[in-house]
Homo-oligomer: A and B are copies of this chain.
Amino acid sequence: MIAVFLTVLGRDIRLAVRQGTDSLMVVAFFVVTVVLFPFGVGPESAVLERISAGVLWVTALLASMLSLDRLFQQDYEDGSLDHLTRAPAPLAGIVAAKVAAHWLTTALPLIAAAPLLAILLHMRPEGFAVLVVAMVLGTPTLSLIGAVGAALVLGARRGGVLVALLILPLYVPVLIFGVSAVDAAVMGFAYTAQIKILAALLMASLVLCPLATSLALRQALE
């Protein structure tokens, strides 16, 4: 079980690193989209500061969703998924390994880029640390929920947009508490409650999502 987990984790990280530009690209999407907002709402720093946490989180949501949309796609198309589901280990463990590899190679760089973008959006420096902590707790939840969606739409013709629909509403709790933690920190209020809720959401999805995902994957192969 552990061995299978590590085997799949290692292989997926290796694939991501060899394919090279993938994780960079997700960061690039994140950065470019965030930068679009000043063009949209104008350059006034007061407005930008007010919406900075919201824009960062919404964009992180979109970036996570877009990069997840192909989490199982390649394995499905090249037949690897047939064999992954037939490994002598629970499929949920294999799913967890794939999600972990994906998070390490895409969400982690994204979190590293977040403070820089926060500067561009004139967020007050008090928010930076909490932003990073909230993202470290929130993005794995996004990845886990996204994996369910990615598995559900396997084989669907218009994968990308469909996934968006299925999973964006599920992202809302993460969004709300992620933003409110940062806002509280910026305004000097307590933010531990929000952080705890983010941690609880993570725990819950860690238990439920891999199971739901493995169910969806088996259906996709029928």
Let me know if A113 is at the binding interface, CB within 8 A. Answer: no
For the complex, give the distance between the alpha carbons of A210 and B74 in Å: 31
Asked if residues A41 and B66 are in contact (CB atoms below 8 Å), the reply is no
A30 to chain B, nearest CB (A): 10
A146 to chain B, nearest CB (A): 13
- Please give me the residue from chain B that is nearest to A40 by CB atom: B54
Asked if residues A164 and B66 are in contact (CB atoms below 8 Å), the reply is yes
| CB proximity to B under 8 Å, residues A56-73 | 57-58, 61-63, 66-67, 69-70
Task: Bits for A150-190, please: 1 = Cβ < 8 Å to B, else 0.
Answer: 00000001101110110011011001100100010000000
Asked if residues B158 and A160 are in contact (CB atoms below 8 Å), the reply is no
Stretch at the interface among A19-27, A81-89, A192-200: A19-27
For the complex, give the distance between the alpha carbons of A156 and B199 in Å: 37
Let me know if A55 is at the binding interface, CB within 8 A. Answer: yes
Q: How many copies does the complex hold?
A: 2
A178 to chain B, nearest CB (A): 9
* Chain A contact patch, size range: 35 or more
Chain B residues with CB below 8 A from A28, complex form: 161, 164-165
Chain B residues with CB below 8 A from A66, complex form: 66, 160-161, 164
Chain B residues with CB below 8 A from A32, complex form: 164-165, 168-169
| CB proximity to B under 8 Å, residues A16-50 | 19, 21-22, 25-26, 28-29, 32-33, 36-37, 39-42, 47, 50
Chain B residues with CB below 8 A from A21, complex form: 157-158, 162
Asked if residues B58 and A36 are in contact (CB atoms below 8 Å), the reply is yes
A56 to chain B, nearest CB (A): 8
